[in-house]
Amino acid sequence: MPEVGPVVVISELTKKYGDFCALDQLSLSLDRGRILGFIGPNGAGKTTTIKILVGQVRPTSGSASIAGVDCIRDAKKIKRLVGYMPDTFGSYDNMRVYEYLDFFGAAFGMPRRDRTRRVDEVLEIAGAFGFKDRYVESLSHGMKQRVGIARTLLHDPQVIILDEPANGLDPQARIEMRELLIHLAEMGKTLIVTSHILPELARICHDVAIITHGHLRAFGTLDEIMHRVSERRLIEVELTNNESLDAAVALVREQTDDGSEVVGSATEAIVRFRTSKSQKELADLLARLVHAGIGVCQFRELQSDLEDTFLSITRQPKDAVEAWLPRNQHPQ
Amino acid sequence: MTVNPIIRRELISVLRSRWALGMQLGPIAIFSLLVILRWPSEGQVDVAGRQAQQVFRLFGYGLLAMLLLLAPAYPAVSIVAEKKRGTLALLLNTPLSRPSIYLGKLLGALGYIALPLAMSVPAVAACYAMGGLSLTRDIGVLYLVLALVTVQYTALALWISSFATSTDSALRITYGTVLLLAVGTLGPYLFLQGHPDTRAAHVAGWIRCISPIPAVMELVGQGDVGGHGLIADAGAPLRYGVLALATTIALAVHTTWRLTPTLFDRARPAGNNTLGASKSRQWLRRIAFVVDPERRTKPMGRFTNPVLVKEFRTRRFGRSQWMLRLVAVCALASLGLTYAATTGTLSWGVETIGGIMVLLQVALIVMLTPSLAAGLISSERESGGWALLQMTPLSTGRILRGKLLSVGATMLLILLATLPGYAIMMVIKPVLQQQVLLVLACLLLTAMFAVCLSAAVSSLFRHTAPATIASYALLIALCGGPLLLWLGRDAPFGHDLVQAALRIDPIAAALSILEVSNFSQYNVLPANWWIIASATAFSLALLTFRTWRLTQPR
């Protein structure tokens, strides 16, 4: 496999279940050693995409490849290239951790001596060496997640796909999981991680793909996406009291007039809106508010994070999709 | 009036299912057919009521078989499923008392099974109208015994469910216990009846009455199946009634007492190992256990099928130390059977002792096989392990070989334990060699069929609990169903129909080879072997196809 160029390439991937379209012309690519945060609401098509990548689901059309190997035609080869950790652990009763890993090592045809060494290695990498002799079902959720990661690393795959690895973990375990994923990327592994815990993803992901209703809504580095989204900045106007809230909302709505959602919070006496207006236009808006006799305490732009970005993107109608995609990712 | 909310939830949710509809319609159809079959077609009535008694006999056995099969299915998972889902903890935190929770579950389950029982009443009424039956002495007492069977086995299933750690293990243990109580308890009596030691025979007579079968047999006016000319002790329904009531009350009280939050307070062994222990301790443990359960196992061998090893390791009693114990138990059972075969063959004749051994052995196959094989595929799908197996380069064939061998090897070990018993029969009567070999072939074929059928059923389900129920139902229906027709062999069923039915029954084939009384007149072989072999091949093909489908991208 060439050292340069994308490791994961997804091209116009579509998956339909009867009339329901789970994935609609999804295209993206990922370079070696990168961590991709794959984000979307429940039922957006994340798991379908992952299952196509690991050869468990056949797409209706389009293609997907990992390290140049077609995920659909060469499903057998894909098994050796990819380490997949599903959102369910898949434990077997009455098995100790090393027996569990020994089984998967043997299933991958690893020679006995190499297997013993490799089991110790991956347990060490995953920080699970301490519970090597414990029964799998007696482990806590966080411990199981570590063993799950050790299992995905066992056959030394190039690409690791983790479905909700931080789900149900306590803050300490989440931090450890984050460090582990960064360590794996430093080892040259390419990671695709889905999660609902966006601040966690924001800290580790090089790239982010946001998907809703089977459509890719945004793809790029976190900075790129936030930059594109922040063309529509989130502005917060804090009023002196909530008596003039309705008037303020009406005035802002009239002045922005670009289809943005303007939300007034009576309890906070705050008006929030997202807009692509220039600095001067915003200064004019502030002047109008003051001129209308509305008491304004603060008029400020809120810094958006991945959570805001995600919400901004997912709340937009489907036809706004092009706005958040890089030029070469626009649907034809 | 407020209905216990648990009854409402348990019963109504079950009644909404398609299963329940099938359970209501199925018995009606079968019972109506039986009555139509024997309904007087001419304007004459049989004063002695022979026809009515023939149908009544079949009703008795049919209803008993149905209850033994269906009554434990739902309550066996009732408590353990709630425990796993976490809803039992919620229930225990409500103001509902322990007895009302238990009663809710018991009555809910009873209501479910009472439906098909109630559905049989019109057919029995028609049977009664045919004359020759007493409403109180025949019909009333039979229904009383059947009601007791329902309550007893429901209470038993709930009791086991309160101990179980998973739904499939609850089903396995429950059906195993039901078979043991209903069929296994007949064993000592079959061997000891007419024994010079009257005390042993008397005890065996009471043990026999733990099973409801002798009670129903007595009520429908039939002799003692497997008996050899002696008149059995009368009063089986009364003895059964006393034992059933006592066990039901004991089980109900103990289960109610167990329904506390401490039910969840179970420590799971974290997994110690003796690797760091002193050499002397390690040696001591090795001497004590032969295979130390706390030793660190060696990695799987290069040419070993990893699925085979995994199946043994994940099975509760599949580890080496347990397998050694199983071998020891089998060896002891073998010695016991050899002794019984020697003494029994000399005094009762080879046919009778052979018949008893075949019945017990098939009961063992039917009891064990679904518990081992019905979760082969479904448990992987249920636990999420299948998605992981799919991600390995293991081929469908290798996965299946590993799984089938793991069950096959255990079954073979258990079957081999009975070989010395048959060998003794061959020594006593050398002319039997050919017959005994044919019987062994029959049993081997039965075991293979049972394994393949249960595994095939397993591949059709996502969860192990329904797969286990379906496997037991199919196997018991195949092995026991034709015997019900055989019980009505002179009337209402003719020779040809009974013979055709027996040809699909592996027990009947073995019994006919041994020329057991009332089986020798049926020409069952080789048609039975062809049918069973074809069914095995079909099950294997279905299993392979389903497993292959499951490994393919969807």
CB A31 within 8 A of CB A5: yes
The CATH class for the domain spanning A231-303 reads alpha beta
Query: DSSP labels for B204-261?
Result: HHHHHTTSHHHHHHHHTT---TT--SSPPPS-HHHHHHHHHHHHHHHHHHHHHHH-SG
- Whether B372 has a pLDDT exceeding 70, the answer reads yes
Contacts 24+ apart (CB under 8 A), A112-121: A112/B299, A112/B300, A112/B301, A112/B302, A115/B299, A116/B299, A118/A154, A118/A156, A119/A150, A119/A154
Query: DSSP labels for A295-307?
Result: -EEEEEEEPP-HH
Give the number of other CB atoms < 10 A from CB of residue A233.
Answer: 17
Residue of B nearest to A89 (CA): B384
Residue of A nearest to B267 (CA): A138
pLDDT 10s digits, A165-224: 877 777 777 888 888 888 888 888 899 988 877 777 777 888 888 888 888 888 888 777
Enumerate chain A positions whose Cβ falls within 8 A of a Cβ in B. 51-52, 54-58, 72, 75-76, 79-80, 82, 84, 86, 88-99, 102-109, 111-112, 115-116, 133-135, 137-138, 151
CATH fold label, A6-221? Rossmann fold (3.40.50)
Nearest by CB to B393, which of A79, A103, A111?
A79
Residue ranges per structural domain of chain A:
6-221, 231-303
Q: What is the model's pLDDT at position A310?
A: 74
pLDDT 10s digits, A284-323: 889 999 998 889 999 988 766 677 777 767 766 665 555 4
Question: What amino acid is encoded at B441 in this protein?
Answer: A
CB contact under 8 Å between B310 and A55, yes or no, is: no
Q: What is the model's pLDDT at position A331?
A: 44
- Split at pLDDT 50, 70, 90, the class of B150 is very high
Nearest by CB to A92, which of B275, B304, B314?
B314
Could you give the CA distance from residue B143 to residue B146 in angstroms, rounded to a whole number? 5
Paired sense of beta strands A159-163 and A82-85, if any: parallel
CB contact under 8 Å between A58 and B553, yes or no, is: yes
CB contact under 8 Å between B275 and A133, yes or no, is: yes
Higher pLDDT, B542 or B287: B542
- Model-level pTM? 0.75
- Whether B543 has a pLDDT exceeding 90, the answer reads yes
Could you give the CA distance from residue B172 to residue B164 in angstroms, rounded to a whole number? 10
Please report residues of B whose CB lies closer than 8 A to that of A98: 296
Could you give the CA distance from residue A212 to residue A41 in angstroms, rounded to a whole number? 7
H helices, E strands: number in chain A: 11, 14
pLDDT 10s digits, B178-232: 888 887 787 777 666 666 667 777 788 888 888 898 888 888 776 554 444 444 4
Please report residues of A whose CB lies closer than 8 A to that of B319: 94
Mapping DSSP to helix (H, G, I), strand (E, B) and coil, where does residue B459 land?
helix
Interface ipTM: 0.73
User: Which structure tokens are listed for A289?
Assistant: 């508010």
What is the number of residues in chain A?
332
